[in-house]
Amino acid sequence: MNKLGIAEMIRKLAALKADKLYLNDFLLTWDKSDDEINATYLVADILRGLRVNNISSKIFESGLGISIFRDNSTRTRFSFASACNLLGLEMQDLDEGKSQIAHGETVRETANMISFMAEIIGIRDDMFIGKGHTYMLEVSEAVKQGHLAGVLEQRPTLVNLQCDIDHPTQTMADSLHLINEFGGIDKLRGKKIAMTWAYSPSYGKPLSVPQGVVGLMTRFGMDVVLAHPKGYEIMPEVEEVALKNVAHTGGSFTKTNNMAEAFKEADIVYPKSWASFAAMEKRTKLYEQNDRDGIAALEKELLQQNAEHKDWECTEQLMASTKEGKALYLHCLPADITGVSCKQGEVAASVFDRYRDPLYKEASYKPYIIAAMMFLSRIKHPADTLMELLEKRTKRVIE
């Protein structure tokens, strides 16, 4: 991408109505308008374009990006750190300890105490159904009030780095990958994408990816098929989002309990394990009651339940049934690869291996998507500022 191409994208951005992103959180993709989603893709591509052309996109001389991870997370941490760094923020990690989930007053106080110089707070809290999104709302409210009360000079905005409901930075990266692979957002219209469950020998994987995919990809006029064994249903609220989307955009959203049916003639496949919503709700309650025996029993039960569906694997045979046998394979990584990372898993080794480079490319959009979300929430006139950066041409690396 050259500088003319970047300028062209900035002009496209200027034509979109995305000013509500400014000083707002990015928690769920379906809270955002089409223009706002498109603006985020554009800014991500523009920031990448600037970087490729060795043009600095540092917009902060100082300021912190706070990360709060309820779970270990090397990859998300590095994506968030990269995005912060690209824009000039320094990442500071709040390590609250994994076991305790802070509530009420503690959240309110801590959120303010760490935010005196925070521009952005990135939170990953995906473990417990009914908790993650709620926690983010609590933090957001706390810093909003702190700003109104004159405690915080600025109101930090939140980026959802994965919650119990949605995983916007992942699915936006996934879809930006699709946009660039297929040659434009309009080229996605009429394409079939199979978001399917796949077997994994592990337990309790979050639902935020399938839910996020179904809630986002139904915007683009695609035929979105959600496939899973019985018992692995996703949240009904998200299915409603999907149905509302297709009513508006003209694609389709269908469900099946048959993996082969989902793969048939698909342009894109996204086979990935997740826990059932009902099981995750049960687990959350057991954790609340600190019922260790109950948790162990549930884990055993769920692993057995998983094991009944070992045939849900993305095999070469299934791949051959996709459009011209060449569907684009997606995964949020890391995948459970049969014979590589586990005895039997989500995907055959030969399939995974063939798609390694596109998979890594898919992942590479994430820091830019996060940076775009940050940019649009902190900069009032994003097109003007990006044009300024482009024209100023401050070198990212002195040559």
Query: In sequence order, what are the residues at sequence separation of 6 or more whose Cβ sits closer than 8 angstroms to the Cβ of residue 390?
Result: 3, 6, 7, 10, 50, 55
Work out the end-to-end distance of the chain between its first and last CA atoms, rounded to an integer number of angstroms. 20
Rama region for 221: left / alpha / beta (φ>0; ψ in -120 to 50; rest): left
CB of 396 to a copy of itself, least distance (A): 5
Position 101 contacts a copy of itself (CB under 8 A)? no
Cβ–Cβ < 8 Å for 68, 123? yes
Best CA proximity match to 311, nearest among 264, 348, 276: 348
Q: Please tell me the distance from the alpha carbon of residue 289 to that of residue 206, in angstroms, as a whole number.
A: 20
Per CB under 8 A, 48 contacts a copy of itself = yes
Q: Does 81 interact with a copy of itself (rule: CB under 8 A)?
A: yes
Question: Which one of 44-52, 124-132, 202-210, 277-285 is the stretch in contact with a copy of itself (CB under 8 A)?
Answer: 44-52
Considering the complex, state which of residue 235 and residue 369 has its C-beta at the smaller distance from a copy of itself: 369
> Least distance in Å: CB of 373 to a copy of itself?
16
98 binds a copy of itself (CB under 8 A): no
The minimum distance between CB 353 and a copy of itself, in angstroms, equals: 9
With a CB cutoff of 8 Å and minimum separation 6, the contacts of 263 are 194, 196, 269, 318, 319, 321, 322, 327
Binding a copy of itself (rule: CB under 8 A), the pick from 57, 200, 211, 276 is 57
According to CB under 8 A, which one of 79, 157, 200, 306 is a site residue for a copy of itself?
79
CB of 247 to a copy of itself, least distance (A): 37
Q: Does 150 bind a copy of itself (CB under 8 A)?
A: yes
The Cα 272–Cα 330 span in angstroms is: 9
Kindly state the smallest distance separating residue 61's Cβ from a copy of itself, in Å.
4
Q: Does 162 interact with a copy of itself (rule: CB under 8 A)?
A: no
Query: C-beta of 394: minimal distance to a copy of itself in Å?
Result: 6
Check: CB of residue 107 under 8 Å from CB of residue 135.
yes
364 binds a copy of itself per the rule CB under 8 A:
yes
Query: Could you say whether residue 153 binds a copy of itself (CB under 8 A)?
Result: yes
3-state secondary structure of 220: helix
φ, ψ at 342 (rounded to 5°): -165, 170
Shortest Cβ distance from residue 347 to a copy of itself (Å)? 12
- Beta pairing class for 252-256 and 192-197: unpaired
Query: Does 64 participate in binding a copy of itself (rule CB under 8 A)?
Result: yes
Among the candidate windows 109-117, 162-170, 206-214, 287-295, which touches a copy of itself by CB under 8 A? 109-117
Closer Cβ to a copy of itself, 300 or 395, answer by number: 395
Phi and psi angles of residue 297, each rounded to the nearest 5 degrees, phi first: -65, -40
Distance between CA atoms of 387 and 99, rounded to whole angstroms?
A: 46
Question: For 34, left (φ over 0), alpha (ψ -120 to 50), or beta?
Answer: alpha
DSSP letters for 360-385: HHHHHHHHHHHHHHHHHHH-SSHHHH
Q: Is the dihedral of CA 355, 318, 198, 326 positive or negative?
A: positive
Q: Which stretch binds a copy of itself (CB under 8 A): 111-119, 155-163, 194-202, 266-274?
A: 111-119
- Lay out the site mask for a copy of itself across 307-336 (x = CB under 8 A, - = otherwise): --------------------------xx--
CA distance 99 to 306: 26
Task: Note whether 51 binds a copy of itself by CB under 8 A.
Answer: yes
Q: From 11-19, 20-28, 48-56, 200-208, give the range in contact with a copy of itself by CB under 8 A.
A: 48-56
Q: Which residues bind a copy of itself (CB under 8 A)?
A: 48, 51-52, 56-64, 74-75, 77-79, 81-82, 85-88, 90-92, 94-96, 105-106, 109-110, 112-114, 116-117, 119, 146, 149-153, 333-334, 337, 340-341, 357, 360-361, 363-364, 366-367, 378-381, 385, 388-389, 394-399
